[in-house]
């Protein structure tokens, strides 16, 4: 599978650290020094997830030079759907991608990478030729804006990547690893509330609804700085890749200190670690494609370059992929 187009969509309202310090007991100095975050985008009432995801998807389609009808598959990685029955079909409908099957995939901040790898498997099996992989989240809906331990971290956004079948030697997915550890699920949750409703005599059912995000920040931090270098090291070894061969580290944007720790472990210089935390914070499933889109559009990431990517977060879940960016117009032919 070749990575041939990308796009993004973010809400227009930006909330700075100073803005937040007027609501909770925090400061720009604390947030920047502990996380690298300077601002985050927040969606308003007229900006559903579907709109952000569709904007990112349409931009990726245009970048790849495809028509919506050319798509076979749309995967939407999200933990904050507009509709629990699935938001991907809404995106498919708005795009007019009449030939594509569309469904959601939930793996929190690992979601985009897991979805990209999943699309890669359909393409490798020969059942899909062209796919859009979207990572989109609106955690502003689910954050407790009075909890300074979490509300400073998250923001809203969407990113998308267009992928298509190609000759095996041109593949943009050179290797991957995925992991889950549900025994540590309680570290980071967006869980159902425990509200009951009387139904019939002797029968009570549960009412649907979710509680705000709960996080043990220190545990998630320790998990990330231990597991991300470990899974990337495994991936590099299994693909016979030296860290020096990586043009870029494209990591989930959760905390600049996590990016720095991973870069240090592999002796990757700071200027080759992609980061846009300062502007967007942690946009969950959107961070990786949003970052890729920015770096492709400003010319940092060039066709043929290698990217070591890793996503990690709630689940707990984590994964890594060795990617090569092809860019629009890459010569393609069906995979064997
Ligand atoms: O996508 C994955 C999602 N999550 C993550 O990646 C989060 C990973 N964890 C982290 O990034 C960090 O743990 C945080 C940024 C969340 C917190 O940084 P920390 O250095 O681990 O801080 P801490 O939780 O140990 O708190 C240190 C102090 C505490 O005060 P005391 O007990 O020392 O008096 C907190 O109450 O900082 C306080 N604090 C704050 N102060 C000002 C916590 N949040 C804030 C805040 N502003 N926003």
For ligand 1, pick from 38, 217, 259 the residue to mutate: most ligand atoms within 8 Å of CB: 217
Residue 187 annotated as catalytic? no
Annotated domain spans of the chain: 2-170, 173-184+212-324
Angle (nearest 5°) at CA 284 between 283 and 290: 55
Q: Which CATH architecture has domain 173-184+212-324?
A: 3-Layer(aba) Sandwich (3.40)
**pTM of full prediction above 0.85:** yes
CA of 128 to the centre of ligand 1 (A): 43
Q: Fold identical between 2-170 and 173-184+212-324?
A: yes
The β-bridge relationship of strands 195-200 and 203-207 is antiparallel
Q: What is the pLDDT of residues 12-66, one digit of tens each?
A: 999 999 999 999 999 999 999 999 999 999 999 999 999 999 999 999 999 999 9
- Cβ 57 under 6 angstroms from ligand 1: no
| Residue 99: C-alpha distances to residues 2, 5, 71, 95, 147 (Å) | 20, 19, 6, 11, 44
Catalytic residue chosen out of the listed positions 109, 151, 166, 187? 109
Of 215, 203, 189, 5, give the one whose Cα is nearest residue 108.
189
Do residues 119 and 131 make contact, with C-beta atoms less than 8 angstroms apart? Answer: yes
CA of 313 to the centre of ligand 1 (A): 16
- Cβ 79 under 6 angstroms from ligand 1: no
The average pLDDT across 299-319 equals 98
Residue nearest atom 47 of ligand 1, based on CA coordinates: 26
Bridge partners, residue 229, by sequence: none
CA of 295 to the centre of ligand 1 (A): 29
Model confidence at 332, pLDDT cuts 50, 70, 90, reads: low
The average pLDDT across 64-83 equals 98
CA of 149 to the centre of ligand 1 (A): 6
Of 305, 38, 291, give the one whose Cα is nearest residue 157.
291
- Cβ 313 under 6 angstroms from ligand 1: yes
Query: Mean pLDDT in the chain?
Result: 96
* 2-170 under CATH 3.40.50.300, yes or no: no
């Amino acid at each position: 599978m070749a990575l041939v187009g990308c796009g993004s969509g973010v809400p227009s309202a930006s909330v700075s650290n100073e803005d937040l310090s007027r609501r909770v007991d925090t400061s720009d100095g604390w947030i920047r020094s502990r996380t690298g975050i300077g601002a985050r985008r927040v969606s308003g009432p007229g900006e559903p997830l579907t709109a952000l995801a569709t904007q990112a998807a349409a931009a990726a389609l245009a970048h790849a030079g495809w028509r919506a009808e050319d798509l076979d598959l749309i995967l939407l990685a999200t933990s904050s759907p507009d509709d629990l029955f699935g938001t991907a079909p809404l995106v498919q409908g708005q795009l007019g991608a009449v030939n594509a099957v569309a469904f959601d995939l939930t793996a929190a901040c690992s979601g985009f990478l897991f979805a990209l790898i999943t699309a890669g498997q359909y393409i490798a099996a020969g059942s899909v030729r062209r796919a859009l992989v979207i990572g989109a989240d609106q955690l502003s809906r689910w954050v407790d804006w009075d909890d300074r331990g979490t509300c400073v971290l998250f923001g809203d956004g969407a990113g998308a990547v267009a992928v298509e079948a190609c000759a095996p030697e041109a593949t943009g997915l050179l290797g991957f690893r995925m992991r889950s550890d549900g025994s540590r699920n309680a570290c980071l949750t967006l869980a159902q509330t425990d509200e009951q409703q009387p139904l019939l005599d002797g029968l009570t059912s549960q009412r649907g609804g979710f509680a705000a995000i709960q996080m043990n920040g220190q545990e998630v931090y320790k998990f990330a700085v231990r597991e991300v270098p470990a899974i990337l090291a495994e991936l590099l070894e299994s693909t016979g890749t030296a860290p020096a061969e990586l043009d870029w580290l494209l990591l989930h944007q959760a905390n600049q200190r996590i990016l720095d720790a991973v870069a240090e472990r592999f002796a990757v210089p700071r200027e080759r670690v992609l980061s846009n935390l300062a502007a967007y914070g942690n946009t969950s499933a959107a961070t990786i494609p949003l970052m890729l889109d920015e770096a492709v559009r400003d010319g940092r990431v060039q066709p043929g370059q290698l990217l070591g990517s890793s996503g990690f977060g709630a689940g707990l879940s984590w994964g890594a992929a060795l990617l090569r960016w092809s860019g629009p117009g890459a010569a393609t032919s069906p995979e064997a």
